[in-house]
Structure 1
Amino acid sequence: MKQISIIKWGNSYSGTYSYGSEIIIAKENVKFSSPMMPVGARIKTWNSAGNYSNDRISPTLPLLLANSTYKIELYIEKNNKNNVQTIIEFYDKSNQKIGIEYFDGLSLVFTYPAEAVSYTVNLINHQHEL
Protein backbone atom coordinates (compact mmCIF):
# COMPACT_ATOMS: atom_id res chain seq x y z
CA MET A 1 0.00 0.00 0.00
CA LYS A 2 1.31 3.44 -0.92
CA GLN A 3 1.37 6.15 1.67
CA ILE A 4 0.70 9.67 0.40
CA SER A 5 1.55 12.84 2.29
CA ILE A 6 0.37 16.23 1.07
CA ILE A 7 2.58 19.07 2.22
CA LYS A 8 1.09 22.51 1.79
CA TRP A 9 2.67 25.93 2.02
CA GLY A 10 1.26 26.41 5.51
CA ASN A 11 -0.36 29.37 7.22
CA SER A 12 2.83 30.82 8.67
CA TYR A 13 5.59 32.71 6.93
CA SER A 14 8.24 30.61 8.67
CA GLY A 15 10.82 29.43 6.14
CA THR A 16 9.47 31.80 3.48
CA TYR A 17 11.41 34.53 1.68
CA SER A 18 9.41 37.59 2.63
CA TYR A 19 11.68 40.58 1.88
CA GLY A 20 9.65 42.70 -0.54
CA SER A 21 7.47 39.71 -1.37
CA GLU A 22 3.74 39.60 -1.93
CA ILE A 23 2.38 36.38 -0.40
CA ILE A 24 -1.31 35.58 -0.53
CA ILE A 25 -2.24 32.40 1.31
CA ALA A 26 -5.72 31.22 0.30
CA LYS A 27 -7.57 28.05 1.25
CA GLU A 28 -6.41 25.96 -1.74
CA ASN A 29 -3.46 27.90 -3.18
CA VAL A 30 -0.70 30.39 -2.54
CA LYS A 31 0.33 33.30 -4.72
CA PHE A 32 3.97 34.34 -4.33
CA SER A 33 5.51 37.33 -6.08
CA SER A 34 8.91 38.91 -5.44
CA PRO A 35 10.27 40.80 -8.48
CA MET A 36 13.51 41.86 -6.79
CA MET A 37 14.36 38.47 -5.29
CA PRO A 38 17.95 37.39 -6.04
CA VAL A 39 18.63 34.30 -8.13
CA GLY A 40 19.44 31.30 -5.95
CA ALA A 41 17.47 32.55 -2.93
CA ARG A 42 15.20 30.10 -1.13
CA ILE A 43 11.55 30.92 -1.70
CA LYS A 44 10.31 28.37 0.83
CA THR A 45 11.86 25.66 3.04
CA TRP A 46 10.06 22.69 4.56
CA ASN A 47 11.78 20.67 7.34
CA SER A 48 11.51 17.12 8.62
CA ALA A 49 13.01 18.15 11.95
CA GLY A 50 12.44 21.18 14.09
CA ASN A 51 13.30 22.61 17.45
CA TYR A 52 10.10 24.19 18.67
CA SER A 53 11.51 25.39 21.99
CA ASN A 54 14.35 27.30 20.28
CA ASP A 55 13.09 28.21 16.83
CA ARG A 56 9.30 27.86 17.12
CA ILE A 57 9.47 25.54 14.09
CA SER A 58 7.58 22.27 13.98
CA PRO A 59 8.44 19.58 11.43
CA THR A 60 6.43 20.03 8.21
CA LEU A 61 7.65 16.94 6.35
CA PRO A 62 6.98 13.25 7.05
CA LEU A 63 9.66 10.96 8.45
CA LEU A 64 11.30 8.74 5.83
CA LEU A 65 12.87 5.29 6.11
CA ALA A 66 16.55 4.68 5.30
CA ASN A 67 17.28 3.17 1.88
CA SER A 68 13.65 3.56 0.83
CA THR A 69 12.63 5.10 -2.49
CA TYR A 70 10.24 8.04 -2.58
CA LYS A 71 8.65 10.28 -5.16
CA ILE A 72 7.96 13.98 -4.74
CA GLU A 73 5.49 15.72 -7.01
CA LEU A 74 5.00 19.48 -7.05
CA TYR A 75 1.77 21.19 -7.93
CA ILE A 76 2.97 24.57 -9.14
CA GLU A 77 1.45 26.83 -11.74
CA LYS A 78 4.41 28.24 -13.60
CA ASN A 79 4.48 30.81 -16.35
CA ASN A 80 7.24 32.26 -18.51
CA LYS A 81 8.02 34.86 -15.82
CA ASN A 82 8.91 32.37 -13.10
CA ASN A 83 11.32 29.52 -12.98
CA VAL A 84 11.96 27.48 -9.85
CA GLN A 85 14.18 24.61 -8.85
CA THR A 86 13.61 22.19 -5.98
CA ILE A 87 16.45 20.93 -3.81
CA ILE A 88 16.29 18.17 -1.21
CA GLU A 89 19.11 18.23 1.36
CA PHE A 90 19.85 15.29 3.66
CA TYR A 91 21.47 15.64 7.11
CA ASP A 92 23.10 13.19 9.53
CA LYS A 93 22.75 13.04 13.33
CA SER A 94 25.34 15.83 13.71
CA ASN A 95 23.26 18.03 11.38
CA GLN A 96 25.97 17.84 8.70
CA LYS A 97 24.78 17.82 5.10
CA ILE A 98 25.42 14.35 3.64
CA GLY A 99 23.58 14.53 0.34
CA ILE A 100 21.62 16.68 -2.04
CA GLU A 101 19.18 16.08 -4.89
CA TYR A 102 18.28 18.73 -7.50
CA PHE A 103 15.33 18.75 -9.85
CA ASP A 104 13.89 21.32 -12.22
CA GLY A 105 10.77 19.39 -13.21
CA LEU A 106 7.64 18.74 -11.25
CA SER A 107 8.61 15.29 -9.91
CA LEU A 108 11.64 13.46 -8.56
CA VAL A 109 12.26 9.88 -7.46
CA PHE A 110 15.01 9.55 -4.85
CA THR A 111 16.37 7.14 -2.25
CA TYR A 112 16.62 8.34 1.33
CA PRO A 113 20.27 7.84 2.46
CA ALA A 114 20.96 5.26 5.20
CA GLU A 115 22.89 7.80 7.35
CA ALA A 116 20.25 10.52 7.11
CA VAL A 117 18.15 11.47 10.13
CA SER A 118 16.50 14.58 8.67
CA TYR A 119 15.98 16.41 5.41
CA THR A 120 14.72 19.68 3.96
CA VAL A 121 12.88 20.49 0.76
CA ASN A 122 13.72 23.91 -0.67
CA LEU A 123 12.01 25.84 -3.44
CA ILE A 124 14.71 27.98 -5.10
CA ASN A 125 14.36 31.08 -7.29
CA HIS A 126 16.03 30.15 -10.59
CA GLN A 127 15.37 33.34 -12.54
CA HIS A 128 15.82 37.01 -11.71
CA GLU A 129 12.20 38.08 -12.04
CA LEU A 130 9.78 35.88 -10.14
Structure 2
Amino acid sequence: MANVSIVNWGSYLHPVEAHGARIKHQVGVVEYTSPLLPPGTNIYTWQSEGRFQDIRMQGALPILRGNHTYQLIGKLEAIPENSAYFRVATYDHENQFIKEFILEGSGGTFDYPVTARRYNISLVVKANQLVRFKWLAIGLANELADVKLEVSDDLRISAVLADKPQGFNIYVTKKGASSWLVPVQADSSQAVIRLTDDEIENGDTTSFALLDQVFKKYDLTHYQTRIRAYGYPLTSVVQAFQERLSRLKGE
Protein backbone atom coordinates (compact mmCIF):
# COMPACT_ATOMS: atom_id res chain seq x y z
CA MET A 1 0.00 0.00 0.00
CA ALA A 2 1.28 3.45 -0.89
CA ASN A 3 1.48 6.25 1.68
CA VAL A 4 1.69 10.00 1.77
CA SER A 5 3.96 11.39 4.49
CA ILE A 6 2.86 14.51 6.37
CA VAL A 7 5.52 16.52 8.19
CA ASN A 8 5.15 19.48 10.52
CA TRP A 9 7.65 21.98 11.91
CA GLY A 10 8.67 19.90 14.90
CA SER A 11 10.72 21.20 17.82
CA TYR A 12 14.10 21.44 16.08
CA LEU A 13 15.87 24.78 16.70
CA HIS A 14 17.40 26.15 13.51
CA PRO A 15 20.47 28.42 13.95
CA VAL A 16 18.76 31.36 12.23
CA GLU A 17 16.24 31.44 15.06
CA ALA A 18 18.92 33.03 17.20
CA HIS A 19 19.37 35.97 14.83
CA GLY A 20 16.42 38.24 15.41
CA ALA A 21 13.73 35.79 14.38
CA ARG A 22 10.47 35.52 16.28
CA ILE A 23 8.75 32.15 16.29
CA LYS A 24 5.31 31.52 17.71
CA HIS A 25 4.20 27.89 18.07
CA GLN A 26 0.43 27.58 18.02
CA VAL A 27 -1.92 24.63 17.60
CA GLY A 28 -1.30 23.30 14.11
CA VAL A 29 0.74 26.28 12.88
CA VAL A 30 4.12 27.94 13.38
CA GLU A 31 4.40 31.68 12.77
CA TYR A 32 7.87 32.79 11.72
CA THR A 33 8.88 36.46 11.51
CA SER A 34 12.37 37.64 10.58
CA PRO A 35 12.30 40.58 8.15
CA LEU A 36 16.07 41.18 8.44
CA LEU A 37 17.11 37.82 6.99
CA PRO A 38 18.77 38.08 3.56
CA PRO A 39 16.90 36.59 0.59
CA GLY A 40 17.65 32.92 0.01
CA THR A 41 17.98 32.01 3.70
CA ASN A 42 16.85 28.54 4.77
CA ILE A 43 14.63 29.07 7.80
CA TYR A 44 13.97 25.37 8.37
CA THR A 45 15.34 22.12 6.95
CA TRP A 46 13.92 18.60 7.13
CA GLN A 47 16.28 15.64 6.64
CA SER A 48 15.74 12.14 5.27
CA GLU A 49 18.66 10.86 7.33
CA GLY A 50 20.40 11.86 10.53
CA ARG A 51 20.61 11.07 14.21
CA PHE A 52 17.42 9.47 15.52
CA GLN A 53 16.79 12.19 18.09
CA ASP A 54 17.33 14.98 15.55
CA ILE A 55 14.97 13.35 13.04
CA ARG A 56 12.27 12.95 15.68
CA MET A 57 12.57 16.63 16.59
CA GLN A 58 12.52 18.04 13.07
CA GLY A 59 10.19 15.61 11.32
CA ALA A 60 11.43 12.59 9.42
CA LEU A 61 11.19 12.65 5.65
CA PRO A 62 10.26 9.38 3.91
CA ILE A 63 12.79 7.28 2.03
CA LEU A 64 12.33 7.90 -1.70
CA ARG A 65 12.94 5.59 -4.64
CA GLY A 66 15.30 6.63 -7.39
CA ASN A 67 13.92 7.35 -10.86
CA HIS A 68 10.42 8.12 -9.51
CA THR A 69 8.43 11.35 -9.62
CA TYR A 70 7.24 12.75 -6.30
CA GLN A 71 4.68 15.37 -5.36
CA LEU A 72 5.37 17.86 -2.59
CA ILE A 73 2.38 19.69 -1.16
CA GLY A 74 2.96 22.73 1.03
CA LYS A 75 0.42 24.27 3.38
CA LEU A 76 1.66 27.70 4.35
CA GLU A 77 0.91 31.38 4.10
CA ALA A 78 3.66 33.84 3.18
CA ILE A 79 3.56 37.61 3.43
CA PRO A 80 4.17 39.09 0.91
CA GLU A 81 2.55 36.44 -1.27
CA ASN A 82 4.97 33.99 -2.91
CA SER A 83 7.87 35.14 -0.72
CA ALA A 84 8.71 31.62 0.52
CA TYR A 85 9.52 28.47 -1.41
CA PHE A 86 10.90 24.93 -0.97
CA ARG A 87 14.34 23.72 -2.03
CA VAL A 88 14.81 19.95 -2.42
CA ALA A 89 18.51 18.97 -2.42
CA THR A 90 19.64 15.43 -3.31
CA TYR A 91 22.90 13.61 -2.49
CA ASP A 92 24.55 10.33 -3.49
CA HIS A 93 25.91 7.51 -1.29
CA GLU A 94 29.18 9.45 -0.81
CA ASN A 95 27.22 12.49 0.36
CA GLN A 96 28.05 14.38 -2.82
CA PHE A 97 25.47 16.89 -4.04
CA ILE A 98 23.59 15.72 -7.16
CA LYS A 99 20.79 18.13 -7.97
CA GLU A 100 18.32 20.52 -6.40
CA PHE A 101 14.73 21.38 -7.23
CA ILE A 102 13.03 24.70 -6.48
CA LEU A 103 9.30 24.41 -5.75
CA GLU A 104 6.87 27.19 -4.93
CA GLY A 105 5.28 27.41 -1.48
CA SER A 106 2.25 25.38 -2.52
CA GLY A 107 4.58 22.63 -3.75
CA GLY A 108 5.16 20.85 -7.05
CA THR A 109 6.71 17.71 -8.52
CA PHE A 110 10.32 16.57 -8.82
CA ASP A 111 12.14 13.55 -10.24
CA TYR A 112 14.25 11.82 -7.59
CA PRO A 113 17.61 10.88 -9.21
CA VAL A 114 18.38 7.20 -9.60
CA THR A 115 21.77 7.73 -7.89
CA ALA A 116 20.34 9.62 -4.89
CA ARG A 117 20.64 8.08 -1.43
CA ARG A 118 19.42 10.93 0.73
CA TYR A 119 17.81 14.36 0.44
CA ASN A 120 16.61 17.32 2.45
CA ILE A 121 13.85 19.87 2.04
CA SER A 122 14.42 23.48 3.09
CA LEU A 123 11.89 26.23 3.54
CA VAL A 124 13.51 29.33 2.01
CA VAL A 125 12.50 32.99 2.23
CA LYS A 126 12.93 35.81 -0.27
CA ALA A 127 11.98 39.37 0.80
CA ASN A 128 9.74 37.89 3.44
CA GLN A 129 7.95 39.51 6.38
CA LEU A 130 6.02 36.55 7.76
CA VAL A 131 5.50 32.81 7.22
CA ARG A 132 2.67 30.82 8.77
CA PHE A 133 3.62 27.19 8.25
CA LYS A 134 1.20 24.31 8.85
CA TRP A 135 2.57 21.20 7.14
CA LEU A 136 4.13 19.70 4.08
CA ALA A 137 3.32 16.36 2.47
CA ILE A 138 5.23 14.15 0.08
CA GLY A 139 4.22 11.08 -1.91
CA LEU A 140 4.44 9.49 -5.33
CA ALA A 141 2.99 11.90 -7.89
CA ASN A 142 1.00 9.23 -9.73
CA GLU A 143 -0.54 7.99 -6.44
CA LEU A 144 -1.63 11.51 -5.46
CA ALA A 145 -2.93 12.54 -8.89
CA ASP A 146 -6.44 11.16 -8.40
CA VAL A 147 -6.95 11.76 -4.68
CA LYS A 148 -7.47 14.78 -2.43
CA LEU A 149 -5.45 15.39 0.72
CA GLU A 150 -7.04 17.16 3.70
CA VAL A 151 -5.51 17.89 7.12
CA SER A 152 -7.47 19.42 10.00
CA ASP A 153 -6.31 22.74 11.45
CA ASP A 154 -5.12 21.04 14.65
CA LEU A 155 -3.31 18.27 12.69
CA ARG A 156 -5.29 15.59 14.54
CA ILE A 157 -7.15 14.28 11.47
CA SER A 158 -5.61 13.63 8.06
CA ALA A 159 -7.56 12.22 5.12
CA VAL A 160 -6.81 11.02 1.61
CA LEU A 161 -10.04 11.02 -0.39
CA ALA A 162 -10.52 8.88 -3.48
CA ASP A 163 -12.58 10.20 -6.38
CA LYS A 164 -15.08 7.33 -6.32
CA PRO A 165 -14.41 5.38 -3.12
CA GLN A 166 -15.79 1.89 -2.61
CA GLY A 167 -15.24 2.15 1.13
CA PHE A 168 -13.72 4.23 3.93
CA ASN A 169 -10.95 3.19 6.32
CA ILE A 170 -10.32 4.99 9.60
CA TYR A 171 -6.90 4.44 11.15
CA VAL A 172 -6.11 5.29 14.77
CA THR A 173 -2.51 5.97 15.71
CA LYS A 174 -0.48 7.59 18.45
CA LYS A 175 0.19 11.32 18.27
CA GLY A 176 3.66 12.49 19.11
CA ALA A 177 6.10 12.32 16.22
CA SER A 178 6.63 15.29 13.93
CA SER A 179 5.72 13.21 10.87
CA TRP A 180 3.11 10.57 10.13
CA LEU A 181 1.74 8.49 7.27
CA VAL A 182 -1.66 8.33 5.61
CA PRO A 183 -2.35 5.33 3.36
CA VAL A 184 -3.31 5.98 -0.26
CA GLN A 185 -5.66 3.68 -2.18
CA ALA A 186 -7.38 4.47 -5.47
CA ASP A 187 -10.59 2.59 -4.61
CA SER A 188 -11.16 3.77 -1.02
CA SER A 189 -10.76 6.85 1.16
CA GLN A 190 -8.62 6.88 4.30
CA ALA A 191 -8.54 8.98 7.44
CA VAL A 192 -5.92 8.88 10.19
CA ILE A 193 -6.87 10.03 13.70
CA ARG A 194 -3.90 10.83 15.93
CA LEU A 195 -4.57 10.22 19.61
CA THR A 196 -2.75 11.45 22.71
CA ASP A 197 -1.50 9.06 25.40
CA ASP A 198 -4.39 10.08 27.69
CA GLU A 199 -6.96 9.39 24.99
CA ILE A 200 -5.45 5.96 24.42
CA GLU A 201 -4.95 4.96 28.04
CA ASN A 202 -8.02 6.51 29.65
CA GLY A 203 -10.58 6.42 26.86
CA ASP A 204 -10.80 10.21 26.81
CA THR A 205 -14.06 11.36 25.19
CA THR A 206 -12.06 13.70 22.95
CA SER A 207 -11.16 10.67 20.85
CA PHE A 208 -14.86 9.95 20.24
CA ALA A 209 -15.33 13.60 19.26
CA LEU A 210 -12.63 13.15 16.61
CA LEU A 211 -14.36 10.04 15.29
CA ASP A 212 -17.69 11.87 15.25
CA GLN A 213 -16.05 14.68 13.30
CA VAL A 214 -14.78 12.27 10.63
CA PHE A 215 -18.16 10.52 10.46
CA LYS A 216 -20.06 13.76 9.97
CA LYS A 217 -17.62 15.53 7.63
CA TYR A 218 -17.30 12.62 5.21
CA ASP A 219 -20.89 11.41 5.58
CA LEU A 220 -20.00 7.80 6.40
CA THR A 221 -23.59 6.62 6.93
CA HIS A 222 -23.67 4.74 3.62
CA TYR A 223 -20.01 3.73 3.36
CA GLN A 224 -18.60 0.38 4.37
CA THR A 225 -16.25 1.66 7.05
CA ARG A 226 -13.50 -0.17 8.89
CA ILE A 227 -11.49 0.90 11.95
CA ARG A 228 -7.86 -0.13 12.09
CA ALA A 229 -4.80 0.57 14.22
CA TYR A 230 -1.75 2.05 12.54
CA GLY A 231 1.79 1.75 13.86
CA TYR A 232 0.78 0.73 17.40
CA PRO A 233 -1.21 -2.17 18.93
CA LEU A 234 -4.37 -0.26 19.88
CA THR A 235 -6.83 -3.16 20.16
CA SER A 236 -9.03 -1.63 22.86
CA VAL A 237 -9.22 1.71 21.03
CA VAL A 238 -10.17 0.01 17.77
CA GLN A 239 -12.91 -1.95 19.53
CA ALA A 240 -14.28 1.18 21.25
CA PHE A 241 -14.23 3.10 17.96
CA GLN A 242 -15.97 0.26 16.15
CA GLU A 243 -18.75 0.21 18.75
CA ARG A 244 -19.07 3.99 18.53
CA LEU A 245 -19.23 3.80 14.74
CA SER A 246 -22.02 1.21 14.91
CA ARG A 247 -24.04 3.52 17.16
CA LEU A 248 -23.47 6.45 14.81
CA LYS A 249 -24.77 4.36 11.92
CA GLY A 250 -27.74 3.22 13.98
CA GLU A 251 -26.78 -0.45 13.71
Q: TM-score range by the shorter chain?
A: 0.7 to 0.9
Deviation at residue 40 of structure 1 after TM alignment: 1.1
SS of the residue 1:78 aligns to: strand
Aligned position for 1:57: 54
TM-score w.r.t. length of structure 2: 0.46
- Which structure shows the bigger proportion of residues in helix conformation? 2
Residue-pair matches, total: 126
- Which structure shows the bigger proportion of residues in strand conformation? 2
Superposed, 1:10-89 pairs within 5 Å as 10-13=10-13, 15=14, 17-18=16-17, 19-52=19-52, 57-58=54-55, 60-80=60-80, 83-89=83-89
Cα offsets for 1:28-66 (capped at 9, x unmatched): 1111001211111111100001135xxx52262111111
Deviation beyond 4 Å, 4+ runs, structure 1: none
Distance 1:70 1:82, change over 3 A: closer
CA contact (8 A) 2:69 2:111 kept: yes
Gaps of 5+ in 1: none
Larger displacement relative to structure 2 (74-83 or 99-108): 74-83
Aligned position for 1:98: 98
| 2: CA distance, partners of 1:16 / 1:33 | 14
SS of the residue 2:119 aligns to: strand
SS of the residue 1:93 aligns to: coil
CA contact (8 A) 2:74 2:106 kept: yes
Cα offsets for 1:7-37 (capped at 9, x unmatched): 1000232x46301111112221111001211
Compute the RMSD of aligned alpha carbons: 2.0
TM-score w.r.t. length of structure 1: 0.86
Larger displacement relative to structure 2 (116-125 or 78-87): 78-87
The amino acid that maps onto 2:16 is Y
State the identity %.
Answer: 30
The amino acid that maps onto 2:87 is I
Deviation at residue 78 of structure 1 after TM alignment: 2.2
| 2: CA distance, partners of 1:62 / 1:86 | 16
CA contact (8 A) 1:7 1:61 kept: yes
Cα offsets for 1:62-118 (capped at 9, x unmatched): 111111111001000123277112110000011111011012241211121110000
Gaps of 5+ in 2: 131-251
CA contact (8 A) 1:91 1:98 kept: yes
| 2: CA distance, partners of 1:16 / 1:71 | 28
Higher relative contact order (CA 8 A, sep 6+): 1
Distance 1:4 1:16, change over 3 A: farther
